[in-house]
Amino acid sequence: MRRSRWCAFFVIACFVAIGWRVATPFAQSDQSRFVGPTSSQPLALGANDSLLAVVNPDNNSVTFFGVAGGQTNKLAEVQVGEEPNGVAILPNGSKAYVANTVSGTVSVIRINPGRGRFNETRKIRVDTEPYGLALTPNGSKLYVTNARSNTVSVIDTASDKVVATITDVGFEPRGVAITNNDDDNDTDEKVYVTQFLSLPIPGKVDGQDDAKAGKVTVISTATDSVIGEVTLNPLADTGFKAAGDAIARIPPANPPVFTFTTGAYPNQLNNIGLKGNFAFVPNTGASPNGPFRFNVNTQSLLSVVDTTSNTEAGPPLNMHLAVANQTNPQRRFLTVPWALAFRHGTDDGYVVSAASNIVFKLAVDTTTGTAQVQMDPSDPTKVLEIPVGKNPRGIVVNSTDTLAYVMNYVSRDVSVISLTTQPERVVATLPSASLPPAGTLADLIHVGKELYNTSVGVFDPAPGTSTPIVGRMSNAGWGACAACHPNGLSDNVVWIFPSGPKRTIPQHTDFDQTDPARSTQKILNWNAERDEEEDFELNIRAVSGGAGLIVLSDGVTQDPAVFNLTPLASANRNQLKVRGRNAWDGIKAFVQFGIRPPISPVEKNDDVKDGRRLFRIANCQACHGGPQWTSSRLDFTPPPDVSKIKTGQILDQLRNVGTFDPTAINEVNTNGVPSLVGGDGFVPASLLSIFAFPQTFFHNGSATSLDEVLENVIHRTAGTGGVDVLSSAADRARLVRFLLSIDVRTKPFDRTPLP
């Protein structure tokens, strides 16, 4: 009797299990390897194409979809650590790994396909700000780029433990891709890691179009050690012409004639993809020399590495040229190329343009490494541009080359692209996480994040009309706040502007990040030229060539008033709206509350403590005190008293500490005229998370390290009336160690007067 009951129970259990398995929209893979090489992305497919995972950085979660046979079922949203940015799934589908950037961990999520369960089983501690991660093709190792500690962690996926930490990978490692040797052994595969920000080229001067170069680190999976570093050189001719050459002191003619060749250097290397014997790196090229114009400042570059020799394969491709050369006048440029993925069976790839909200297509030659942007087969007069969601940041292609999936950061969804139609098109949109409730502060911040990251902009209809206003953030989709301020921070480029050379300031320093609710704001720009975030309406109009957001009562016409340091304040003027919220109010809210300062990896040891003591003794707090680590503070209601203004600067915000050299080759303005401002000093730079912006310091990049910064005797004695209490190199080294440790966890100093 017991035996028959047991048998009956077993039969029922098997039936239930089989029925559940059939009803489950994905199944565990029998594959032991991925098809082709692997790369880091904010979304991942299982090896049998049945399971899709996507991270939700603003929701601290990862969402799983069942996508077998073209299904689009949301299976689960799993809470993980803070700010997840990368995800990977084991080839057999049993586990997923998630890089939690703020938490400094990698979540391990156990996947039970028979029961449809997704459970975080542990968090693996890695180094500071893990960002990208990729599995070896057989899934035995996971490589994690730790963006702020400048390391790569290697995790053994059998034990889920860190088995190696690779330390000499360069500054801010981000993207990672791993070759595939097509067998079960991973000991002769190579790992390619991008360094996000470019580094100075010796002998060059910041502000020149060839001042810096990109870097890609090469790691051996056999030894888990660095075996090379590839330099990605500047592009000598972008194909776009300027009206003069500022650094060469050649001003533009009147009227301007655009005959001067412009170059650009690779920057913002976020992602890398492998095809054949080549690694392809999309990036935002910087062309900082003046005169500035919307189409000669940033470029959409594709740099290529020959993986057989670990050298650059040739000059980068300027992908913007394909749009410029199309005969169709309706153009949207390919701004902020952030990630790419390739088909497996053909030599085609797809690149996401994070600012322009599109995916475009490349054809690559796997014998030479050259690439070409593809035209639309349904309209050969224009580039093929596939509209997706807001701020796309990742893309994966399934193993059969029938579908691609795109992670859209701001709209918090996934676009599903059919690759079998001509042209390719979006066939579904999968919401991955909830958006902020309408009318809340979080909603206003989200409006600002959308506008900050777009080169286009979609706005509410003008009064009395029903059609949304599209565009205005830039000319033909060329330019965005994020093009120079990735993630609200800095591209670390010295731009030649009307007031002279100016290194991009990270905007996490604009407001008090230790207590954002206090709304404490500093004066903006190096020359104290602006006192309101809304003053950057001028950047949208002049630098990006857009129509802008401040309008007259008709809701369309540009307000012709000049907003920068005039009797008119910029705030509270008539603005375009997004979902009923004022556009500039949203951008200001994002800058105030939505930009996270980088986390320092520096251990708070005795040297750091001693460096803090030396900081106080040298009275550095006279210029770098206060919650924003700068003496600058908006202490009036805009606009400022005109008696305080000289050559467009608010004088009482400036400090002259010997950092202005009128003889410097790059101390010119955009028209090639020696800079007229700087002799009265500059707004003291914020020290908050200063470690994150390597080898470019002072307003004009004249110092390439903090050690060099402190070699300036006038600077280091400014707080002590010329008495040099930092004459000892050992003391300066300890002070530098303290400076490198500063982040939002560091207690700031109160401001003190200069002697």
**340-375, pLDDT tens digit by residue?**
999 999 999 999 999 999 999 999 999 999 999 999
Q: Look up residue 535 and give its amino acid.
A: D
User: Which of 98-107, 357-366, 580-589, 667-676 has the least mean pLDDT?
Assistant: 667-676
How is residue 634 written in tokens? 């908006």
At the second CATH level, the architecture of 319-434 is 7 Propeller (2.130)
Mean pLDDT for 549-569 is: 79
Comparing 569 with 59, which gets the higher pLDDT? 59
Please give the pLDDT value at position 253: 95
Please state, in angstroms and rounded to a whole number, the distance separating the CA atoms of residues 415 and 401: 16
At the second CATH level, the architecture of 606-741 is Orthogonal Bundle (1.10)
Contact partners, residue 166, CB within 8 Å, separation at least 6 = 151, 152, 153, 154, 219, 224, 225, 226
Domains 319-434 and 606-741 share a fold: no
Please give the pLDDT value at position 513: 79
**Residue 15 pLDDT class (50, 70, 90 cuts):** very low
pTM across the whole model: 0.94
**Residue 12 pLDDT class (50, 70, 90 cuts):** very low
For the chain, give the percent of residues with pLDDT over 90: 88
Q: Where are the domains of the chain?
A: 319-434, 441-593, 606-741
Question: Is 80 exceeded by the pLDDT of residue 562?
Answer: no
Q: H or E element: which one contains 731?
A: helix 729-741
Which residues share a beta bridge with 19? none
- Angle among Cα 213, 219, 221 to the nearest 5 degrees reads 160
Mean pLDDT for 171-182 is: 95
Mean pLDDT for 386-397 is: 98
Q: H or E element: which one contains 707?
A: helix 706-711
Please give the pLDDT value at position 341: 98
Please give the pLDDT value at position 181: 86
Please give the pLDDT value at position 552: 94
CA distances from 42 to 39, 52, 101, 270, 348 (A): 10, 11, 12, 12, 21
Per the prediction, the chain carries an average pLDDT of 93
Question: What b-and-e string marks burial along 336-370, b requiring 16 or more CB atoms within 10 Å of the CB?
Answer: bbbbbbbbeeeebbbbbbbbbbbbbbbebeeeebe
Q: Look up residue 724 and give its amino acid.
A: D
Q: Is 15 exposed, middle or buried (0-12, 13-18, 19+ CB in 10 A)?
A: exposed
Question: Is 70 exceeded by the pLDDT of residue 76?
Answer: yes
Please give the pLDDT value at position 26: 52
How is residue 607 written in tokens? 């040297």
* Of 269, 739, 176, 201, nearest in space to 486 by CA: 269
Please give the pLDDT value at position 16: 35
Question: Is 70 exceeded by the pLDDT of residue 2?
Answer: no
**Residue 170 pLDDT class (50, 70, 90 cuts):** very high
**Residue 515 pLDDT class (50, 70, 90 cuts):** confident
* Of 191, 336, 356, 169, nearest in space to 268 by CA: 336
Question: Is 60 exceeded by the pLDDT of residue 13?
Answer: no
Please give the pLDDT value at position 28: 53
Mutual orientation of helices 441-452 and 583-593 as an angle, nearest 10°? 100
DSSP state of 475: B
Strands 317-318 and 311-312, by their bridges, are unpaired
Please state, in angstroms and rounded to a whole number, the distance separating the CA atoms of residues 519 and 504: 22
Q: Look up residue 227 and give its amino acid.
A: I
